[in-house]
Amino acid sequence: MPLDVTSSIALPHPTRQRQARAVAVWLFGMCAMLLVMVSLGGATRLTGSGLSIMEWKPLMGALPPLSGAEWQRLYRLYQQIPQYALVNQGFGLEGFKRIFWVEWTHRLWGRLIGLAFLAPLVWFALRGAISRRLAWRLGLLFLLGGLQGAIGWFMVASGFAADSTAVSPYRLVVHLFMALTLYAAIFWTALTLWHEGAAPAPAGPRIRGLRALITGTCCAVALTVVAGGFVAGLHAGLTYNSFPLMDGSLVPAGFAQLQPFVRNLTENVATVQFDHRLLATVTALLASATLVVGLLGGAAGRLRTALLALGLAVLGQYVLGVATLLWVVPVALGTAHQAMAVLVLTAALAAMHAAGRSQAAAPIANARIFAPHE
């Protein structure tokens, strides 16, 4: 069944729309918090801080060390892992505190996101401002957010292995992709609520072609993010710091040196960085084509705005990525590059939503958003 936002319900339309927009504002706020979370995650990785806390205490871990003895205990725990012996040996308690606070802030922000999601959800549900079906859907997203915390610890634990000084690239990619999936689901729901009751976009051949281009761009963005996760996990940005060639070659030496070949896609530094460059270029070309087709086709209103935002975001991300590579991944640029990936995804989703998939294909189909008496 299609998303029913125009059926007869108890509340008058102005009240229903105000409630819809109130819920949407809350969800947009959650997206902003998730953007900060992804940025903090990038800073944590780039500063090597992620392994500084060797305990997972979902509740008590919200409190920082409150005594010198507790600081010493945590420091002794950190001294037991390879990262300390091979990377940070001798940096002292003050050096440990510097990386500890980065990771602690990252984890604390995750806890705050959980509270900022759960409390308003309960409040809106109790007031009858959202339907039971949507409340359950948002509740599922909350549980997935909790699962994301467990995935984060699963990722961190991989860095405690006897032969490791960093987390598993595979687990890092899962953690990043899960974060962006949650972001996309919340952002899409917020957009749908904000535009509740709007007429569906026309479905002529021109709009169908534009939708296909936008969809292709979204898929390219997703693949580029995954490739970027492996670049981050393998620290591949610290090599081949030239552009557009890689050590003087379009395709670097050693591109396919691992057997079987599929291992190169996730374990070979040369291949992983080449793939990320290639996918980023494909994304930029697709976004440019989407923008040109949309503008020449007379895109107006929020669709035009979204297409312009998409074009600018992709261009900015491409330039930022090249700068990050050429300057050998400084923390500030690397963090900005990861945050900008979220903004590219945001623009792509906004463009897809504005292109107006028909009501029958809406992402929260088969659920009336506001039906307090159902």
Secondary structure in 3-state letters for 300-354: CHHHHHHHHHHHHHHHHHHHHHHHHHHCCCCHHHHHHHHHHHHHHHHHHHHHHHH
pLDDT score at 164: 86
Per-residue confidence (pLDDT) for residue 199, from 0 to 100: 60
Q: Which residues of the chain have pLDDT under 50?
A: 1-12, 358-374
What's the pLDDT at 311?
A: 97
Q: What is the pLDDT of residue 198?
A: 65
What six digits make up the tokens of 231?
Answer: 């670049």
Could you tell me if residue 370 is left (phi over 0), alpha (psi between -120 and 50 degrees) or otherwise beta?
Answer: beta
What is the rounded distance in angstroms from the CA atom of residue 324 to the CA atom of residue 268? 20
pLDDT at residue 9, as a whole number = 35
Alpha-carbon span 193 to 16, nearest angstrom: 10
My answer on whether 112 and 260 are in the same domain is no
Q: Are residues 208 and 192 in the same domain?
A: no
Task: At 246, list the tokens.
Answer: 């890689």
235, 157: one domain: no
User: Residues 91, 165: one domain?
Assistant: yes
Does any domain span residue 84? yes
User: Are residue 182 and residue 237 in the same domain, yes or no?
Assistant: no
Residues 193 and 210 in one domain: no
Asked if omega into 260 is within 30° of 0 (cis), the reply is: yes
- Please identify, among 181, 198, 215, the residue that sits at the C-terminal boundary of a domain: 198
Name the domain boundary from 182, 198, 214.
198
Residues 259 and 229 in one domain: yes
Residue of 202, 148, 195 whose CA lies nearest to 175: 148
In a domain, 291, yes or no: yes
Q: What is the b/e burial string over 272-291, where b = at least 16 CB atoms within 10 angstroms of the residue's CB?
A: bbbbbbebbebbbebbeebb
**Structural domain total, the chain:** 2
Q: What is the pLDDT of residue 188?
A: 96
Residues 82 and 158 in one domain: yes
Residue 97: give the domain boundaries: 1-198
Q: Out of 198, 217, 245, pick the residue that ends a domain.
A: 198
Within a domain: 371: no
Residue 347 lies in a domain: yes
> What pLDDT score does 58 carry?
87
The answer to whether position 323 is within a domain reads yes
The per-residue pLDDT for 207 is 80
Q: Please say whether the beta carbons of 252 and 241 come within 8 A.
A: no
> Is residue 193 domain-shared with residue 205, that is, in the same domain?
no
Residues 80 and 210 in one domain: no
What pLDDT was estimated at residue 80?
Answer: 94
Q: Are residues 176 and 249 in the same domain?
A: no
Q: Establish if 91 belongs to a structural domain.
A: yes
Q: Is residue 108 included in any domain, yes or no?
A: yes
pTM for the model: 0.90
**Residues 242 and 167 both lie in one domain:** no
